[in-house]
Amino acid sequence: MEVLSYWQKETETLPLGDLRALQLKRFQERMVHVYEHSPMYRRKYDEAGITPGDIRTLEDIRKVPFTVKEELRESQARFPPWGDFMCVPPEEGVRVFQTTGTTGIPVKVLLNKKDWTVHFYDQFMHFMHGYGIKTTDILFVPFGYGLYIAWWGFQAALEQAGVMIVPGGAQSSRDRVKNMLDWDATVVCGTPTYLLYLGETARKMGVSLPESKIRIVVAAGEPGANVPATKAAIEELYGARCYDDIGSSEISNFGFECVAQQGTHVIESMFYAECLDPDTLEPVGPGEVGELVLSNLCTESMPLLRYRMKDLVRFNRDRCDCGRTFLRLEGGILGRSDDMFQFAGVNIFPSGIENLIRQVKEFSSEYQIVVPRQGSGKRMKIRVEPASDRVSGPEMERAVSRFIEAFKYRITVTPDVEVAEVGELPRFELKAKRLIRET
């Protein structure tokens, strides 16, 4: 393991009892804050007959109503543009973003100066130290400037910390490969999908990234960094360590992998995390899969309390080899609860299928999963592509039958596999959409 580094060692390694006491105190403060400053929260809590004074223990937090994305959307539709969940006047805002809109109309996000320069900074400093990034590192950001939050907070925080930033927006992937090398980048960030694409582009150009100075790759925006085969593929392409980074526009940046690479830590001093059964909304035990529910414990502009992330996770509360007492998400985000599907009586995560596909060297990293309508009697279909023109027909056939055997064994369902032409399947720079449900 590399040399350990912490941002706030004392809180990161707090004994659990002290950590829970800190979380309770901060939750109580946030609840007073939203109750006093946000009409939406006051209305919700009045309707539920609960006041901030009712929260005396961590157990009491379960009495607090959930917050869901649909409410934020409705609030902004009723009271445009910001809605009535903001806790600061818009004039205080210094940064705005919007959610990607993958699941509906985008939600506008506003941050005041303290959230942007203190709270976001603190969050990303946990990430930076967790990954072992140093101020002598050089970060290449292959991402275009826009309303989507990804990388702007990370870039601003690392810049504030003294890391050199090389902007990689508005360039082709080939130019990005050249620039990473020309500017001696040591750290690169991106979605797992784009990082794989960029790495493949380098290979096609005859550039060996493992011989470059890149030593750390930070992956966010999709579950990939913690899908073992995807992580391994990225690490091999770049000759670097690949670390998971988890956040969302609405809740901000809560999860980072440490150098032990044994799950993704939640910054528990800044977030309160619950893992609940998606149907009963009762807590599930460590090691069991449930839906992640998060509360902001520090931010000012739009803290979300008991926000249903709709992400499925598995908590590990054992102390990590890095010494942090912050809980870990085993395997990071396992998938969207909306994306998990049932087929032939089996619960299936698309990330589980991705892991199998990316273990097959003859396949490219792109794929599609086509799930037939229930009761149609059809098999699930997996579309894959050869990794390159050099993979022969017979090699591909053998790879497909090996894949089907592995699929039957792991997923316990027999799929049909369709082989597309090289480069035929869609590519994504942001959130990939590879699951197709037939209706």
Q: Find out whether 431 and 397 touch, Cβ atoms under 8 Å.
A: no
CB of 132 to Zn ion, least distance (A): 11
C-alpha triplet 302, 307, 309: angle, nearest 5°: 120
Residues 282, 286: Cα–Cα separation, whole Å: 13
CB of 167 to Zn ion, least distance (A): 31
Measured from the CB atom, the residue of 109 and 258 that comes closer to Zn ion is 258
Sign of the torsion formed by the C-alpha atoms of 263, 314, 272 and 70: positive
CB of 88 to Zn ion, least distance (A): 34
If you count them, how many residues does the chain have? Answer: 439
Encode 299-315: b = buried (16+ Cβ within 10 Å), e = exposed.
Answer: bbbbbbbbbbbbbbbbb
Measured from the CB atom, the residue of 4 and 164 that comes closer to Zn ion is 4
Question: 237 burial class (0-12, 13-18, 19+ CB within 10 angstroms)?
Answer: buried
Torsion (CA) 371, 264, 242, 333 in degrees, nearest 10 = 10
DSSP-derived secondary structure letter, 380: P
Measured from the CB atom, the residue of 266 and 387 that comes closer to Zn ion is 266
Q: In the sheet where 381-386 sits, what is the strand order?
A: 416-419, 381-386, 363-371, 435-437
Measured from the CB atom, the residue of 202 and 333 that comes closer to Zn ion is 333
CB of 318 to Zn ion, least distance (A): 10
Measured from the CB atom, the residue of 96 and 320 that comes closer to Zn ion is 320
CB of 258 to Zn ion, least distance (A): 3
> Any idea which residue has 């659990």 for tokens?
16
Q: Find out whether 102 and 132 touch, Cβ atoms under 8 Å.
A: no
**Backbone conformation region of residue 149, classed left if phi is above 0, alpha if psi is from -120 to 50, else beta:** alpha
CB of 19 to Zn ion, least distance (A): 15
Torsion (CA) 157, 163, 168, 169 in degrees, nearest 10 = 20
> In a 3-state reduction of DSSP, which class is residue 195?
helix
Residues near Zn ion (CB under 5 A): 258, 260, 320, 322, 324
CB of 393 to Zn ion, least distance (A): 46
> In a 3-state reduction of DSSP, which class is residue 201?
helix
Measured from the CB atom, the residue of 247 and 415 that comes closer to Zn ion is 247
CB of 324 to Zn ion, least distance (A): 5
H or E segment to which residue 409 belongs = helix 393-411
